[in-house]
Chains A and B, each alone.
Chain A
Amino acid sequence: MKINVTVNDEQLEMEVGYDEFLVEALRRYGFNSVKRGCDTGCCGLCTIWINDQPTLSCSSLAVRANNQKITTIEGLQEEATDFAKVLVKEGAEQCGFCSPGFIMTILAMKRELKNPTEEEIIHYLTGNLCRCTGYLGQLRAVKKYMGVV
């Protein structure tokens, strides 16, 4: 069936299956930054924004995105680059496969939380798994980026 969505500020008509998840549809339409890490909403790799809210695209049916606004990291390259610079400077970028979903969550957190504590940051990001870094380097980078001392 056809759905109309706004992806990264552009109107798009997508042909999607009735039982297709958004992650599959977005990848099929060339939004390759969206990664799939599990099928159970556990790892956060597929995080995108629907109407500016971080959402797991592996657990969201594509049809439900009809007439909604979708944002992927392709649409936030400038902001993503700002954070990525901090992350890479910390050396906390390893395989990078979890990064797009992780950064989408961080950029949403930045909008949502004012002066968060370390504990609040960890809580916000807990749904984003990473098997390479052990999280601490990422936390050091996030704290620098968020201005948390």
Chain B
Amino acid sequence: MKIVNQSITKIDGMDIATGKPVYTDDLVNVKALVVKILRSPHAFAKIKSIDVEKAKKRSGVACVLTHQDVPNQRFTMAGQSYPEPSPYDRLVLDEYVRYVGDEVAIIAAVDERTAIEAMKMIKVEYEILEPVLNFEEAIGHPSVIHPEENLEVNFDIGMKREKNIAATVLIENGDMEEALKNSPVIVEETYYTQAQAHGMMETQRAFTYLDVSGRLTIVTSTQIPFHVRRIVANALEIPKSKVRVIKPKIGGGFGGKQNASVEVFPAIVTLKTGKPAKIIYDRKENLGCTSSRHAMKIKVKLGADHEGNIKAVDMEALSDTGAYGEHASTVLGVAGYKTLPLYNTAKAVRYSGEAVYTNKMPAGALRGYGVTQGIFALESAINQLADQLNMDPAEVREKNLIKQGETNPILSGSKAGEPGKLDSCTLDRCIEKGKELIGWKEKYPSQRVSDTKVRAVGMAITMQGSGIAGIDTAAVTIKLNDDGLYSLLIGATEMGMGSDTILTQMAAETLEIGMDKFIVHGIDTDLSPYDTGSYASSTTYVTGNAVIKAAEDLKGKMMRQASGMLGVPLKGLRFKGDTIGVINHPDKQVSLNEIAADVGAGEGKQEQLMGSGTFGGDKSPPPFIAGFAEVEVDLETGKIVLIDYVAVIDCGTVINPNLARIQAEGGLVQGIGMAMYEDVLYDKAGRMMTNSFMQYKIPCRKDINKITVAFEPSYEPTGPFGAKSIGEVVINTPPPAIAHAVFNATGVYVRNLPITPEKVVKGMMESSK
């Protein structure tokens, strides 16, 4: 391979690095109305009356909208394929407000100052209701968060609206009672994972206008342009044909832009006024009024024998979906689906749980999508099992983990009685290499470095998926232009991770020509081929496969064209990238330019050459990671310093080593943030206390010491050039590995994230009592 598996620089790297105007707000080149949202000060209330007359009359105000002015059509903001598994439990504006920050009114004015002044003139009378703030008290709480009758679900997700249950899940295989009975060693613990914020640098934003033919155009910072088109059309009751979505460069997503959080607001303003409108969320809105990771409580029961053979894995989850059910059932399910297959020796596995409504900011998609939560619980329990058995935790894993070629009934692609097969996996080698890189033999479990300081190591493993089996679809078109350049048309959303680059690498590799021959276009739903969007770690695998199909299709068409031009049958020709030549006649060939010129001549007799390919997998091959943490803990203060973090990754073929490495380092740091620093906190009234970067601590440069990333490539036969995904899997191991290292240093197991010095010291004080 000449281009795939090479560290090609990002094709848009220089533009975005040097500050060129490429993001949504840079492209608003007309005087647009500024849209602001009046938000609820109460966690749960019903709007008794709302007086907007004074605000409407203020000069410069274009419109003020309340729940009386919007369609009574419930929808979900979750960017998922239709029919979405997320409940239709939202209105653009509702008479109920369900969390502090929920939308009450939309104000649009000539400038921000006017909009804010008008907002202050709105008088709202609320009937305050008792909120549900503790998710463990949600089921059967006297307050029903969604009392409305017209809430809809597209299919049965186990919703029990009147009990505040948004979704229910049950995955099981084998006889659990029997397996536990035959397990002389049992570990049973409960773990809590917190809500985490995405904290992407560019907050949510969108700009809308009517084009010359009256169609609504939405320029938005999104991961899901095609879903945004459908969501907005449904929510505003307009035909999809009247909506166009354009995605320019976007400043990070991490799942936070897999919700259509903002687009409906300027869109309805533009429809009502006919004028361009824009909404830019400030950091407070980004952290407090969009979505976060689902906080979860997960109870794990492991059964094993004295030799460390795992017999039973039983997990029970409770997930906090907040005020709306975006991604409620799927995040809940994924926490089981992508953890249970790891330990293949288990005779019985079970995962059950509920996602519940509370009066807090809604939860949504966030990198890792439930696996992060599930893995923290499962891997912490595995480490505890090893401790209980007095075994090396790496050995317990090596004994039990799933290996290449094995089958497992929970793996994607499984059917009843026909368990899915794992075609590619080097997890065993990842563990070996990781142990070497961190110095496991010398360092495990801990070393006293001074009177007050201990160094220790800990570990965890994880898997994820590559796209959603049976649902995710990507289409790609490659066009041969008249000048011999290719246009690569993709519908997948580049959001910084380098997908445009790696997809071009795959096209260039297949068409055997340099990267400079390709023009890549950002997404425009009017022009781009359909793609479900950039989420669920799907771009490399799903869209990558479509790229290869499209390139092969175009190659075939060019060969046929060359065959006619040279008067030589296809089997006598060889494709060589910039030329197609006649085998055994080195001087007889046509160049790409000549083919392009030939199809451009001949007054309509010729077919313009475009290749297209569509891919949707019936499997979601998992990438794997073995993660190792080394910490130094101060026994007097509980302060934890992360000395080193090693992650060894099996993502199949590494398409671009440089970009994959950065993707991994970034994801690990986000995981380290979740493990040690980040926590979305509310006060007693349900007001978020962490809605700025002053209170919500994402890691800064000084929080990160050494991170070592290594690859143990496998070859995934269904993947493009053998590749699997890497985007999400990288976030999962730090919380359990760091918790394990802290335990090895102090004897304190923190089972409630984040692992703060406070919790460590408290734990040490309690155990010394």
Q: Which residues of A contact B (CB under 8 A)?
A: 17, 27, 32-33, 35, 37-40, 42-43, 45, 72-74, 77, 80-81, 84-85, 87-100, 103, 122-123, 125-126, 128-137, 139
Cβ–Cβ < 8 Å partners of A134 in chain B: 662, 665-670, 704, 707
Q: Which residue of A lies closest to B113 (CB)?
A: A17
* Cβ B704 vs Cβ A97 within 8 A: no
Q: Which of A42, A123, A136 contacts B694 (CB 8 A)?
A: A42
Cβ–Cβ < 8 Å partners of A80 in chain B: 17-19
Interface presence of B252 (CB below 8 A)? yes
The 8 closest A-B pairs by CB, nearest first: A96-B16, A95-B496, A97-B251, A91-B658, A33-B19, A134-B669, A88-B13, A134-B665
Nearest-neighbour CB distance to chain B for A62, whole angstroms, equals 13
Interface presence of B254 (CB below 8 A)? yes
Cβ–Cβ < 8 Å partners of B661 in chain A: 91, 137
Q: Which of A37, A125, A128 contacts B283 (CB 8 A)?
A: A37
Q: Which of B26, B198, B250, B662 contacts A137 (CB 8 A)?
A: B662
Bound Cα distance from A149 to B594, whole angstroms: 50
The stretch that binds A, out of B146-154, B199-207, B296-304, B744-752, is B199-207
Q: Which residue of B lies closest to A81 (CB)?
A: B18
- Interface flags for B471-508 (1: CB within 8 Å of A; 0: not) read 00000000000000000000000011110000000000
The stretch that binds A, out of B78-86, B88-96, B427-435, B695-703, is B695-703
* Cβ A99 vs Cβ B18 within 8 A: yes
Task: Choose among B13, B17, B659 the residue with the greatest number of A CB atoms under 10 Å from its CB.
Answer: B17
Bound Cα distance from A97 to B21, whole angstroms: 10
Task: Choose among B13, B20, B25, B707 the residue with the greatest number of A CB atoms under 10 Å from its CB.
Answer: B13
Q: Which residue of B lies closest to A133 (CB)?
A: B666
Cβ–Cβ < 8 Å partners of A17 in chain B: 113
Q: Which residue of A lies closest to B495 (CB)?
A: A95
Contact (A40, B14) CB under 8 Å given A35-B202, A73-B19: no
* Cβ B701 vs Cβ A98 within 8 A: no
Q: Which of B9, B658, B693 contacts A40 (CB 8 A)?
A: B693
Cβ–Cβ < 8 Å partners of B14 in chain A: 81, 84-85, 88
Nearest-neighbour CB distance to chain A for B655, whole angstroms, equals 12
Task: Choose among B7, B12, B19, B22 the residue with the greatest number of A CB atoms under 10 Å from its CB.
Answer: B19
Nearest-neighbour CB distance to chain B for A139, whole angstroms, equals 8
Q: Which residue of B lies closest to A96 (CB)?
A: B16
Cβ–Cβ < 8 Å partners of B22 in chain A: 96
- List which B662-717 residues lie within 8 A (CB) of chain A: 662-663, 665-670, 692-694, 698-702, 704, 707
Bound Cα distance from A65 to B19, whole angstroms: 22
* Cβ A95 vs Cβ B201 within 8 A: yes
Nearest-neighbour CB distance to chain B for A123, whole angstroms, equals 8
Contact (A94, B17) CB under 8 Å given A89-B9, A131-B200, A136-B704: no
Q: Which residue of A lies closest to B664 (CB)?
A: A134
Q: List 13 A-B contacts (CB under 8 A).
A: A39-B282, A77-B18, A80-B18, A84-B18, A91-B658, A95-B252, A95-B496, A96-B12, A96-B15, A96-B22, A99-B17, A131-B666, A137-B662
Bound Cα distance from A85 to B90, whole angstroms: 46
Contact (A40, B201) CB under 8 Å given A32-B21, A91-B10: no
* Cβ B702 vs Cβ A126 within 8 A: yes
Bound Cα distance from A123 to B20, whole angstroms: 27
* Cβ B704 vs Cβ A135 within 8 A: yes
Bound Cα distance from A101 to B113, whole angstroms: 26
* Cβ A122 vs Cβ B284 within 8 A: no
Cβ–Cβ < 8 Å partners of B699 in chain A: 135
* Cβ B700 vs Cβ A129 within 8 A: yes
* Cβ A131 vs Cβ B9 within 8 A: no
Bound Cα distance from A94 to B499, whole angstroms: 10
Cβ–Cβ < 8 Å partners of A27 in chain B: 25
Nearest-neighbour CB distance to chain A for B698, whole angstroms, equals 6
* Cβ A137 vs Cβ B665 within 8 A: yes
- Interface flags for B111-143 (1: CB within 8 Å of A; 0: not) read 001000000000000000000000000000000
Q: In the complex, given contacts A37-B203, A135-B704, what are 8 additional A-B residue pairs having Cβ atoms less than 8 angstroms apart?
A: A73-B18, A84-B14, A84-B18, A88-B13, A97-B16, A131-B199, A132-B496, A139-B701
Interface presence of B76 (CB below 8 A)? no
Contact (A37, B201) CB under 8 Å given A17-B113, A92-B662, A126-B702: yes
Q: Which of B10, B21, B700 contacts A88 (CB 8 A)?
A: B10
Q: Which residue of A lies closest to B21 (CB)?
A: A32
Q: Which of B13, B200, B254, B670 contacts A84 (CB 8 A)?
A: B13
Bound Cα distance from A27 to B23, whole angstroms: 13
Interface presence of B249 (CB below 8 A)? yes
* Cβ A90 vs Cβ B700 within 8 A: no
Cβ–Cβ < 8 Å partners of B19 in chain A: 32-33, 72-74, 80, 99-100, 103
Q: Which of B7, B282, B284, B698 contacts A131 (CB 8 A)?
A: B698
- List which B495-540 residues lie within 8 A (CB) of chain A: 495-498
Bound Cα distance from A123 to B701, whole angstroms: 8
Interface presence of B561 (CB below 8 A)? no
Cβ–Cβ < 8 Å partners of B693 in chain A: 38, 40, 42-43, 129
Cβ–Cβ < 8 Å partners of B498 in chain A: 91, 94
Interface presence of B656 (CB below 8 A)? yes
Q: Which residue of A lies closest to B253 (CB)?
A: A95
Nearest-neighbour CB distance to chain A for B169, whole angstroms, equals 30
Nearest-neighbour CB distance to chain B for A54, whole angstroms, equals 15
Cβ–Cβ < 8 Å partners of A95 in chain B: 16, 200-202, 249-252, 495-496
Bound Cα distance from A99 to B12, whole angstroms: 13
Cβ–Cβ < 8 Å partners of B668 in chain A: 134
Q: Which of A35, A84, A91, A99 contacts B662 (CB 8 A)?
A: A91
Bound Cα distance from A81 to B20, whole angstroms: 11
Q: Which residue of A lies closest to B251 (CB)?
A: A97
Cβ–Cβ < 8 Å partners of B692 in chain A: 38-40, 42
* Cβ A129 vs Cβ B698 within 8 A: yes
Cβ–Cβ < 8 Å partners of B203 in chain A: 37
Bound Cα distance from A73 to B17, whole angstroms: 10
Q: Which residue of A lies closest to B8 (CB)?
A: A91
Contact (A97, B7) CB under 8 Å given A73-B19, A126-B700: no
* Cβ B670 vs Cβ A131 within 8 A: yes
- List which B449-472 residues lie within 8 A (CB) of chain A: none
* Cβ B284 vs Cβ A39 within 8 A: yes
Task: Choose among A77, A98, A137, A139 the residue with the greatest number of B CB atoms under 10 Å from its CB.
Answer: A137
* Cβ B202 vs Cβ A94 within 8 A: no
Q: Which residue of B lies closest to A80 (CB)?
A: B18
Cβ–Cβ < 8 Å partners of A40 in chain B: 283, 692-694
* Cβ B667 vs Cβ A94 within 8 A: no
Q: Which of B16, B20, B282, B658 contacts A90 (CB 8 A)?
A: B658
Q: Which residue of B lies closest to A41 (CB)?
A: B694
* Cβ A91 vs Cβ B284 within 8 A: no
Q: Which residue of B lies closest to A28 (CB)?
A: B111
Bound Cα distance from A45 to B286, whole angstroms: 16
